[in-house]
Amino acid sequence: MIDKTKLVDFIESQLSESDYFLVDVVVSTDNCIRVEIDHPEGVNIDYCVELTRAIEAEFDREEEDYELEVGSAGLTSPFKVKGQYLKYVGKEVEVLATDGKKYKGTLDQVDEDSFTIICDEKVKKEGAKRPVVEQVPHQFMYNQVKSTKYLLQF
């Protein structure tokens, strides 16, 4: 079976000279390898081909037979790494918190340990008869979130 640690190290070394970043590597028990990468401006198919060839050159199929798939993380897939959060700053996202609550808003800020979204919420001011819509920030630690997804708008 392919050594996942060596594979990840090799892929990260290949990506280090570009704006691409590694999202995930999955190596199944039957040696099917799925590599997910991303880029602030989207993933180019030619780059996926280039990375595939580099991996195949480094990990000889004569020594260890494997199936390899290199592609983008997917537009509507849950975020897995901080780079994805950075990519979508200023965009609409949906956050499912560990307490089961869903939040929809604009990804505003991304820090090392947390991120903030701005949600439009109805707030009733003291003495007012009707609630008004205000932009309310919600900050989440990464471990307080089950999933965060980009909200694809048409």
CA gap 106, 90 in Å, rounded: 6
Residue 124 has pLDDT above 90, yes or no: no
For position 141, what pLDDT does the model report?
96
Evaluate if residue 154 carries a pLDDT over 80: no
Strands (E), the chain: 21-27, 32-38, 67-72, 92-97, 102-110, 114-123, 132-141, 145-150
Residues 52-74: pLDDT tens digits? 999 999 998 888 899 999 999 88
Q: What domains sit in the chain, N to C, each tagged with a CATH number?
A: 4-72 (3.30.300.70), 82-150 (2.30.30.100)
